[in-house]
Amino acid sequence: MDLHSPLTFIKGIGEKKAEVLARNGISNIQDLLYYFPRRYLDRTLTDNILLKQGDSVTLLGKVVDSYLHHGKKTRLVVGFVTQNGERIQLVFFKGAPFFQKQLTKDKTLAVTGRLEYYRGFQIIHPDYEILSAEPGEADTSNLLHVGRIIPLYPSNDSLKKEGMDSRGFRRALSRVLDSNISIPEVLPREVILKNKLLPRQDALKNIHFPDSDEDWQAATRRLKYEELFFFQLLLIHKMNLRREIKRELWPLPHSPSYEKLLKALPFSLTEDQKSAIAKIQSFTAGDEPMACLLQGDVGSGKTLTALSVALHYTDNQIQVVFLAPTEILARQHYQTILGYMGNLPFLNVELLLGGEPKKSRQEKLYRMKMGESMIVVGTHALFQEDIEFRDLGLVIIDEQHKFGVDQREAIRSKGKNPDLLAMTATPIPRTLSLTLYGDLELVIIKNKPAGRQPIDTRWFFDDKKAGIYNSIRKYVTQGRQCYIVYPLVEESEKLDLNSCVEAYENLSRNIFPDLKIGLLHGKMKNNDKTRVMDDFKHNKIQILVTTTVVEVGVDVPNATVLVVEHADRFGLSQLHQLRGRVGRGAHKSFCILITGQNISQDGKERLTALTETEDGFKLSEIDLKIRGPGELLGVRQSGLPEFKLADIQTDEELTKNARIDALDFGKPGLMEREEIKSRFSEGRILFTN
């Protein structure tokens, strides 16, 4: 038996079991070994428990009897006696016949749940594991279940039907680990020594059947490291592949158009913008293509930074794509660029969106293919297959977290190994960015342009609306503008949209009949959206009632009041992004968060954090704590693998070390080393991406 043997090599696993296991992603011995316990049951611990009402407990004991109690609601009551002789009732309101059949007298169980008190201790609908066999059945595996620490495995109905419950896994795994299977090491020896890691063989044994807590910890650490190391190696491998293809298009070191832009600007670039531009340019001086992540909080002036970089390309007849996640944003970038550059004769700026009339689309495509359009601003519409460029040398992706890794690659493939400049306002904690964007150079804009006033953020319950409306009126009468944002959640999209439209009608009829109010949401026709946005830009609309379509990027400096309805329904990063719509000009700005009285603890934490700081970095760290990295960035979108054990939040040190080691080993050539090649050729790495 080796790691690649089929599961049927294990005694007790036949074709049928193997088939169900394969459907659950476990196809060979190695898969099984990497199917880790969900929890462990520590018997010594449960022995000493003093039972208290309200405690969450895991208890070991035996079934003594069971009966149906016919009351208002029929329920199954299973009598259960713990190792210490305490009697507890396990109560089931649903599925009584099933549980009655399973939980027969004398079965040994591990029971998990919350301890209630009602004429004695009871647990309602506990989680349980059957540890012993049917009475009378010889159970050779029983020895497995009396060790001090018992692994409990996740399972599901289809697995259980074939006997692969927690107990089934325990049995199969012990058979594998007790055989003299050899588990070859896959980490380089130097790395193991340096990080004091357990050998793979020991780690895999101890993660399943640890003799002590220390055993388990060492095993976990080693296996976490393995995940992180191979993930980093994969990133570095990708980066190397990209670098192997040399640059074909060279941006100019000095751009006349850029010089001109600097002179024409009503302000000067901030120091951070200048140094970001210089740094990005330094990456493009060599013959390797660049991949860079420009990170700067909302309002820090990333657009202008990107445009400055772009002009060094366009001045050399190299095409640039400027990708935005929404049409509103793409349109705004298009106008911004035209606004800054005027209509320069050689800088043909193009806007390409979805749903364009066929003829104008064909014309644009032709100009792009011929290399006449130098900057093409657009949305997802740019991914279409028939879109080609003559000399695409730079891809700029704004709000890059809204795009997936595949999309990043899809657009790059349209160019001649083009440079990549991804931008984001979501400041990503360092470890996370290493994990996520380990293949990107990081450039940070730290400070916003001077003269910005802090945004006054306040949180009110909805019974204070009259006062809020008065304030809005005051600022609007002074010439400022206001956003009122409603949440729009996919699951309740229709309802949400209704409430936004209703609010618009109520506000324009009853509250502000004398003011100019506009409505903007994603379901409107493109022409209408453009018209409303233009009117708002030119202060022909004073109050804009809207949904999250304005979440990212929208730039109207005269808007100084942002009201967010049902603010507790937004995530923290999203609220921070929304807040970035104001505070963009010289006037003092306000962000007003409105909620009902009843909101969750998480909701309270988010809103309080927001009123306390404007620092996007701090906020994203808080968000990371509240929601975890997956939610924060959208796991699937971001290309972040689902690690089985590693947690990039808590395993900061390991992540860093894995990165450093992988950089050492990831150098071209070293990737050819046997241990690493074998790892990759195993065809799958320990994460699902």
- What's the min distance (Å) between Cβ of 262 and ligand ADP? 10
Q: Give me the helices (H) in 517-615, please.
A: 526-537, 572-579, 601-612
Site for ligand ADP in 427-486 (CB under 6 A): 449
Q: List the x/- string, 364-393, binding to Mg ion by CB under 5 A.
A: ------------------------------
- What's the min distance (Å) between Cβ of 300 and ligand ADP? 4
* Residue whose CB is less far from ligand ADP, 273 or 573: 273
- What's the min distance (Å) between Cβ of 301 and Mg ion? 9
Tell me which stretch binds ligand ADP (CB under 6 A): 114-122, 214-222, 550-558, 630-638: 550-558
By CB under 5 A, tell whether 583 contacts Mg ion.
Answer: no
| Residue from the set 188, 301, 429, 629 that interacts with ligand ADP by CB under 6 A | 301
* Residue whose CB is less far from ligand ADP, 270 or 547: 270
Tell me which stretch binds Mg ion (CB under 5 A): 261-269, 553-561, 637-645, 655-663: 553-561
CA atoms within 13 A on the CB side of 379: 13
Q: Residue 562 and residue 468: Cα distance in Å, rounded?
A: 11
Residue number closest to ligand ADP, CB atom: 301
Beta pairing, strands 127-130 & 108-114 = antiparallel
- What's the min distance (Å) between Cβ of 385 and Mg ion? 28
By CB under 6 A, tell whether 296 contacts ligand ADP.
Answer: yes
- Name the binder of 98 from ligand ADP, Mg ion, none, CB < 5-8 A by kind: none
Nearest C-alpha neighbor of 391 from the set 416, 363, 410: 416
Q: Residue 49 and residue 204: Cα distance in Å, rounded?
A: 30
Q: Residue 548 and residue 28: Cα distance in Å, rounded?
A: 47
Q: Residue 187 and residue 196: Cα distance in Å, rounded?
A: 12
By CB under 5 A, tell whether 301 contacts Mg ion.
Answer: no
CB within 8 A of 418, min separation 6: which ones?
A: 249, 289, 392, 393, 394, 395, 412
Neighbour count for residue 364 (Cβ, 10 Å)? 19
Q: Residue 454 and residue 613: Cα distance in Å, rounded?
A: 10
Nearest C-alpha neighbor of 536 from the set 455, 579, 476, 588: 476
Neighbour count for residue 426 (Cβ, 10 Å)? 24
The amino acid that residue 528 corresponds to is D
Tell me which stretch binds Mg ion (CB under 5 A): 20-28, 548-556, 578-586, 658-666: 548-556
Cβ burial of 28 (10 Å; 0-12, 13-18, 19+) is middle
- What's the min distance (Å) between Cβ of 447 and ligand ADP? 10
By CB under 6 A, tell whether 302 contacts ligand ADP.
Answer: yes
- Name the binder of 301 from Mg ion, ligand ADP, none, CB < 5-8 A by kind: ligand ADP
Neighbour count for residue 159 (Cβ, 10 Å)? 21
Q: Give me the helices (H) in 94-161, please.
A: 96-102, 157-161
Say which residue the tokens 């209509």 belong to. Answer: 343
* Residue whose CB is less far from ligand ADP, 153 or 483: 483
Q: Residue 648 and residue 627: Cα distance in Å, rounded?
A: 13
The amino acid that residue 586 corresponds to is A
The amino acid that residue 371 corresponds to is G
Rounded to a whole number of angstroms, the distance between the first and last alpha carbons of the chain is 28
Q: Residue 62 and residue 69: Cα distance in Å, rounded?
A: 20
* Residue whose CB is less far from ligand ADP, 45 or 265: 265
* Residue whose CB is less far from ligand ADP, 122 or 332: 332
Neighbour count for residue 303 (Cβ, 10 Å)? 21
> What are residue 78's phi and psi, to 5 degrees?
-110, 120
CA angle 350–354–359, rounded 5-degree value? 70
Site for ligand ADP in 513-542 (CB under 6 A): none
- What's the min distance (Å) between Cβ of 526 and ligand ADP? 22
By CB under 6 A, tell whether 396 contacts ligand ADP.
Answer: no
Say which residue the tokens 């990165």 belong to. Answer: 659
Neighbour count for residue 53 (Cβ, 10 Å)? 11
SS3 447: coil
> What are residue 84's phi and psi, to 5 degrees?
-90, 5
By CB under 6 A, tell whether 371 contacts ligand ADP.
Answer: no
# residues near ligand ADP by CB under 6 A: 19
By CB under 6 A, tell whether 273 contacts ligand ADP.
Answer: yes
- What's the min distance (Å) between Cβ of 337 and ligand ADP? 11
| Residue from the set 206, 270, 548, 574 that interacts with ligand ADP by CB under 6 A | 270
- Name the binder of 269 from ligand ADP, Mg ion, none, CB < 5-8 A by kind: ligand ADP
- Name the binder of 568 from Mg ion, ligand ADP, none, CB < 5-8 A by kind: none
By CB under 6 A, tell whether 200 contacts ligand ADP.
Answer: no
Say which residue the tokens 């901030």 belong to. Answer: 270
Tell me which stretch binds ligand ADP (CB under 6 A): 216-224, 292-300, 591-599, 612-620: 292-300
* Residue whose CB is less far from Mg ion, 415 or 553: 553
Size of the chain, expressed as the number of residues it contains:
689
Please provide the DSSP assignment of 625-650 as one string.
HHHHHHHHHTHHHHT----SS--TTT
By CB under 6 A, tell whether 304 contacts ligand ADP.
Answer: yes
- What's the min distance (Å) between Cβ of 270 and ligand ADP? 5
| Residue from the set 221, 412, 480, 584 that interacts with ligand ADP by CB under 6 A | 584
Q: Residue 554 and residue 329: Cα distance in Å, rounded?
A: 6
Radius of gyration of the chain (CA): 31
Tokens of 390: 């003559």
* Residue whose CB is less far from ligand ADP, 252 or 306: 306
| Residue from the set 66, 82, 174, 300 that interacts with ligand ADP by CB under 6 A | 300
- What's the min distance (Å) between Cβ of 546 and Mg ion? 17
Say which residue the tokens 């359009």 belong to. Answer: 373
- What's the min distance (Å) between Cβ of 336 and ligand ADP? 7
By CB under 5 A, tell whether 427 contacts Mg ion.
Answer: no
By CB under 6 A, tell whether 269 contacts ligand ADP.
Answer: yes
- What's the min distance (Å) between Cβ of 271 and ligand ADP? 9
332 close to 302: Cβ distance less than 8 angstroms: no
Q: List the x/- string, 224-263, binding to ligand ADP by CB under 6 A.
A: ----------------------------------------
Q: Residue 599 and residue 582: Cα distance in Å, rounded?
A: 25
Tell me which stretch binds Mg ion (CB under 5 A): 170-178, 240-248, 482-490, 545-553: 545-553
By CB under 5 A, tell whether 553 contacts Mg ion.
Answer: yes
- What's the min distance (Å) between Cβ of 398 and Mg ion? 6
Tokens of 410: 């899809």
* Residue whose CB is less far from ligand ADP, 298 or 533: 298
- What's the min distance (Å) between Cβ of 270 and Mg ion? 15
CB within 8 A of 33, min separation 6: which ones?
A: 3, 173, 176, 177, 183, 204, 208
By CB under 6 A, tell whether 555 contacts ligand ADP.
Answer: yes
| Residue from the set 173, 183, 277, 425 that interacts with ligand ADP by CB under 6 A | 425
- What's the min distance (Å) between Cβ of 302 and Mg ion? 5
Q: List contacts with ligand ADP (CB under 6 A).
A: 267, 269-270, 273, 296, 298-304, 425, 449, 553, 555, 557, 580, 584
Q: List contacts with Mg ion (CB under 5 A).
A: 553
